[in-house]
A and B are shown apart, each in its own frame.
Chain A
């Protein structure tokens, strides 16, 4: 086993443990902080894969913006005792664990039994430049549609969170 393999396993273990913390911890503030750790671990996986731009976007958008939004909402909605603010269903969680475990097992089985047609090319250099050319070239319609989607989401979020007008 090489050192680079160990880095992958460490990153994967960090990500999975943090993700388990998101669903297992009884305090939702701790869950939100574990979510930030999960995002950073996934960003490390992207860096390990050579996708530097995606890793940076992951840290900027997910670990920066989305998790701050989550923590903001948690603080806004918290009204009672924080230590029991993230409960699970009492019986339903065993059923959910069974279902998701079975799902993961079946998916892993099918991943192992598939023969992947790997055509590993050269290491991707200058991914930012290629992404920029594609975003402003072939995929400019999708790029503009994403911009309109974000605008619609901003307006919708403001209108929804402001509540009804008092008449």
Chain B
């Protein structure tokens, strides 16, 4: 059995689940952002694989994965700035310490 679209989809499923696990289980805010990056990467693999195996000779999937990379870069910049601003107030990166309703 040669490498088909199911192989890529399974690979991205595994990456996505690892990312979900990280978002749910980690307590460090930066680690949660890293897990979100894993999730975005798995989505990108899906796009590029679908572009290779379904879209024929179009290149739409690769174009959309470029946009995902752009949005991920913006997300990580703003997210890390938010974490830095929050840590400056709370003196902790542990997400369990962010348990107040009003800042």
Contacts and interface: CB of A to CB of B under 8 A. Distances in A.
Contacts of A149: 70-71, 74
Contact of A19 (B3, B26, B38, B91): B38
Nearest to A8: B3
B26 A104 contact: no
Interface of A: 2, 4-5, 8, 12, 15-16, 19-20, 22-23, 28, 31-32, 35, 38-39, 42, 45-46, 49-51, 53-54, 57-58, 61-62, 65-66, 69-70, 73-74, 76-77, 79, 85-89, 92-93, 95-97, 99-101, 103-104, 107-108, 111-112, 116-122, 124, 127, 130-131, 134-135, 139, 142, 146, 149-150, 152-154, 156-158, 160-161, 163
Contacts of A142: 67
20 contacts: A8-B7, A35-B38, A49-B49, A51-B52, A65-B73, A69-B76, A70-B37, A70-B76, A92-B25, A97-B25, A100-B18, A104-B14, A108-B13, A119-B54, A142-B67, A150-B70, A156-B78, A160-B82, A161-B80, A163-B88
Contact of B73 (A22, A66, A127): A66
A139 B66 CA distance: 12
Contacts of A96: 20-21, 24-25
Nearest to A153: B74
Given A111-B9, A146-B67, A73 B57 contact: no
- Binding site of B, secondary structure by majority: helix, strand, loop or mixed? helix
Contacts, number: 233
Given A23-B35, A42-B45, A160-B85, A124 B10 contact: no
